[in-house]
Every structure is written in C-alpha cells, then in structure tokens.
Amino acid sequence: MSGFVSFVSSGPGDPELLTLKAVNRLQNADAVLFDDLSSGPILEHARKGADLVGVGKRAGRPSPKQSHVSRLLVDYAQTGQRVVRLKSGDSGLFGRLEEELVALQEAGIEYEIIPGIPSACAAAAAAGIPLTRRATARRVQFTTGHDLTGELPENMNLAALADPQATTVVFMGKRTFPKMATGLVQAGLPADTPAMLAEGVSTPNQTITRSTVSELAKQLEQEIGDHPALILYGPLADL
C-alpha cells in the first residue's frame, strides 16, 4: 500500500507567509520531513502526533546525504502514510527537488508539488524594492553560488550574469561571492554596481545590508556569518 507525498514549499521562514494549501497539508500529514529553514514556528501547524523528521542540509555542517533523504521519503510513503516533504522558499528553486521526485517515480509513489513564496521575492519585499523596472531592469535571473562540492561553479555564464540591466539573485553564495565578483567585473560588470545582502529574510534575525559588488565581496572575505542569505545585485539594489 503506497501513501502520498506532498512537497510543501514553506516560503522564506515567516509562518504567516505559508499558503492555505501548505497549512492544510501540514495539518493532515502523518509524517513531516523538514529542512532546517522550514523548522521552528512553521512546524506548529503540523498535526499533533505526526512524525517530525529533520533532514535539512546546511553549508559547513554535518548533513544527511541526499540518497538517505530520498530513501527515507520512499520508506514512509510505502507504509501508506500521508507524507509532507517540507522545503524552504519555493521547493523548485535550488531545493534538490528533482532527486526526490525521481526516487518517488521509480517507487511508483504519487505526489504533488505545492508552490511557495520564493526567498528572492521575500528579500526584495523586505528591502522595499521591486525586482524589475521598465527600461533598466527588464530581466531577473536566479543563480546558485556553489556546485556539488561547495565551490563556485566553473561553467557559470559570466557574460549573462554581468548584464548591468538585469536584477541578479545569487542563492547560497556568501562563501563564493568574492571569487564570483572578480569574474563579474572581468566580464564587464561595473564594480560599483549596487548590491544587497539579505540575511534571515522574514525571520527575527533579518538584516538587509546595502553595498556595491566590490564592497560586498570585500565584506564577505572577512566574515560570512551563520544566517542563510541571498545576494542581489543590479540597478534596483540601491533603492
């Protein structure tokens, strides 16, 4: 007997930003496998008596392997349970969703994907800026700041990422942004392009730091801190 898996996107961290459908699935789940950034107050919506299993990954900390997380998800579902796989932000953005979908498909387990507020949108809202602007920011691009090894990806399209008329959002890039910034400037992005570091978005630890690409790179060479963060740069980051 197979159960059913709901991939629930929990948004950036504020439980008030959960969708109604996300809350409904949490309230009816037999088991919740959650990421670190989806824990805390968000889990208060889970049904009393549900299994709550932490499977989150954080840079620089001991974390379960993806194969273990996928296997655990399948094992719970194969007992006939209603399972919520709780992911931060929107689960389709840099959330390793594909690996878990493949595992369920191979096991013949049905699932659904419930979208959530992307952390990039929440960061812009927290900073009081839009992500687009007519004439000077017609495009928004999301990129990851590290590859599977934790290093800056070698095959990044720096020409596209150095477009001064795009708003660029870098996920998981605090450790690698100094190196990335060097490549961006070499690719033609002005060093004084406005940049913003958004940490702990929508949580009590939220901080927004406005800077430039070169100055932010220098800052992150000295101290990166423990809070999850996004880096935004482009024509809107200085509003």
Structural domains of the chain ordered from first start = 4-114 (3.40.1010.10), 119-233 (3.30.950.10)
Q: Which of 36, 57, 179, 238 is catalytic?
A: 57
pLDDT by residue (tens digit) across 22-76?
A: 999 999 999 999 998 888 899 999 999 999 999 986 555 557 888 999 999 999 9
Would the pLDDT of 239 be above 90? no
35 classed as catalytic: yes
30 classed as catalytic: no
What interhelical angle do 97-107 and 66-77 show, nearest 10?
40
Would the pLDDT of 125 be above 90? yes
Give mean pLDDT, residues 166-179: 96
At residue 59, the pLDDT reads 55
Q: Give the β-pairing of 139-144 and 110-114.
A: unpaired
Whether the Cβ atoms of residue 144 and residue 173 lie closer than 8 Å to each other: yes
Q: Which of 14, 30, 35, 90 is catalytic?
A: 35
Query: Given strand 31-34, what is the order of strands in its sheet?
Result: 51-54, 31-34, 82-87, 4-9, 110-114
Burial 187-209 (b: 16+ CB within 10 A, else e): eebeeebbbbbbbbbbeeebebe
Question: Poorest-confidence range of 52-61, 65-74, 159-168, 198-207?
Answer: 52-61
Give phi and psi for 104, each to the nearest 5.
-70, -40
Give mean pLDDT, residues 128-150: 90
Report the percentage of the chain scoring pLDDT > 90. Answer: 82
